[in-house]
């Protein structure tokens, strides 16, 4: 086996953080932005300069790009550049940043992996599955060409999947590891709380009727209390009111009213 190149381990934390993503949508990069914003750490968001952003994304995705001595090629954004380190995949970027920004324990502690476990589950339910509601067949197809399948997938999400994942998050909040406050782990905010905030916010945009009904059920009060607590944190509140926060558009979270036409969340909740 070839010797592992350790050059990427020598990056100082004083190096500039650069976030590379498509312009015009929050997308998967938004989870990363929230960490920087909460921590008050400067970062260069290339999405704010559209021409530059598209060029950088396409360069990273170019089939001729085979990486460099320290970094393998990536498949798709978001990408984080920190000194000579280039990383992709949202959860991977999050666990790289969280300890550096004071938003998780160090990777030497078991709690670090428990937090990653929670983040991966939340992203599965309220990011990946939400995206699949409007593109259930193929991402290469237009929504309009798979609308009927999207309606079926959305009905299942609203009536089965969303309640299931909300119930899991509520269990996390009810657990002994959650501590006494509103947070998912211990008595302080971590990056997983920020992940949950964005997931609830985006899903509420995409499925407003579904989320309103689930909230009013009273079964997930802790989840929505945490959402409001994150929303009111000074740095997050300032960010949400700024032009740095992109509006939802044709990204993960899309609002198609017809996808909620036949939902029966109340029936599922009463079972």
pLDDT of res. 131: 97
Compute the average pLDDT of residues 90-115.
98
Compute the average pLDDT of residues 163-192.
95
Residue 266: band (very low, low, confident or very high) from pLDDT cuts 50, 70, 90: low
pLDDT of res. 49: 95
> What's the mean per-residue pLDDT of the chain?
93
Residue 1: band (very low, low, confident or very high) from pLDDT cuts 50, 70, 90: very low
pLDDT of res. 11: 56
Vertex 265 angle, CA 182 and 203, to 5°: 50
Residue 271: band (very low, low, confident or very high) from pLDDT cuts 50, 70, 90: very low
Residue 13: band (very low, low, confident or very high) from pLDDT cuts 50, 70, 90: low
Regarding pTM above 0.85, the answer is: yes
pLDDT of res. 265: 63
| CATH class given for the domain over 15-100 | alpha beta
* Domain limits, CATH 1.20.1050.10, in the chain: 110-270
Highest mean pLDDT among 51-55, 98-102, 267-271: 98-102
pLDDT of res. 14: 82
Report which of residues 4 and 39 the model is more confident about. 39
Do 65 and 73 touch, CB atoms closer than 8 A? yes
The CATH number of the domain covering residues in 110-270:
1.20.1050.10
* Domain limits, CATH 3.40.30.10, in the chain: 15-100
Asked if pLDDT for residue 41 goes beyond 60, the answer is yes
Least confident of 11-25, 48-62, 135-149: 11-25
Helix H, strand E, coil C: the string for the chain is CCCCCCHHHHCCCCCCEEEECCCCCCCCHHHHHHHHHHHCCCCEEHHHCHHHHHHHHHHHHCCCCCCCCCCCCCCCCCEEEECCEEEECHHHHHHHHHHHCCCCCCCCCHHHHHHHHHHHHHHHHHHHHHHHHHCCCCCCCCHHHHHHHHHHHHHHHHHHHHHHHHHHHHHHHHCHHHCCCCCCCCCCCCHHHHHHHHHHHHHHHHCHHHHHHHHHCCCCHHHHHHHHHHHCCHHHHHHHCCCCCCCCCCCCCCCCHHHHCCCCHHHHHHC
Compute the average pLDDT of residues 80-86.
98
């Amino acid at each position: 086996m070839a010797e592992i190149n350790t050059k990427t381990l020598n990056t100082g934390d004083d190096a500039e953080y650069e976030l590379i993503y498509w312009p015009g949508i929050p997308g998967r990069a938004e989870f990363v932005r929230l960490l920087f914003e909460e921590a008050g750490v400067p970062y260069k968001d290339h999405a704010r300069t559209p021409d530059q952003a598209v060029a950088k994304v396409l360069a990273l995705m170019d089939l001729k790009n085979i990486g460099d001595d320290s970094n393998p090629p990536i498949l798709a954004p978001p990408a984080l550049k920190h000194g000579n380190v280039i990383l992709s995949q949202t959860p991977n970027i999050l666990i790289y940043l969280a300890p550096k920004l004071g938003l998780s324990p160090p990777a030497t502690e078991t709690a670090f992996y428990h937090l990653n476990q929670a983040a991966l589950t939340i992203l599965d339910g309220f990011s990946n599955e939400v995206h699949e509601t409007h593109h259930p067949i193929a991402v290469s197809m237009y929504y309009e060409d798979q609308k009927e399948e999207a309606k079926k997938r959305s009905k299942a999400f609203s009536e089965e999947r969303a309640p299931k994942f909300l119930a899991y998050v509520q269990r996390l909040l009810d657990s002994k590891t959650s501590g006494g406050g509103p947070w998912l782990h211990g008595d302080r905010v971590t990056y997983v709380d920020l992940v949950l905030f964005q997931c609830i916010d985006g899903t509420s945009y995409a499925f407003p009727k579904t989320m309103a009904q689930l909230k009013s059920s009273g079964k997930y009060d802790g989840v929505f209390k945490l959402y409001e607590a994150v929303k009111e944190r000074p740095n997050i509140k300032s960010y949400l009111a700024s032009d740095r926060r992109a509006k939802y558009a044709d990204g993960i979270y899309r609002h198609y009213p017809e996808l909620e036409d036949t939902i029966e969340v109340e029936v599922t909740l009463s079972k």
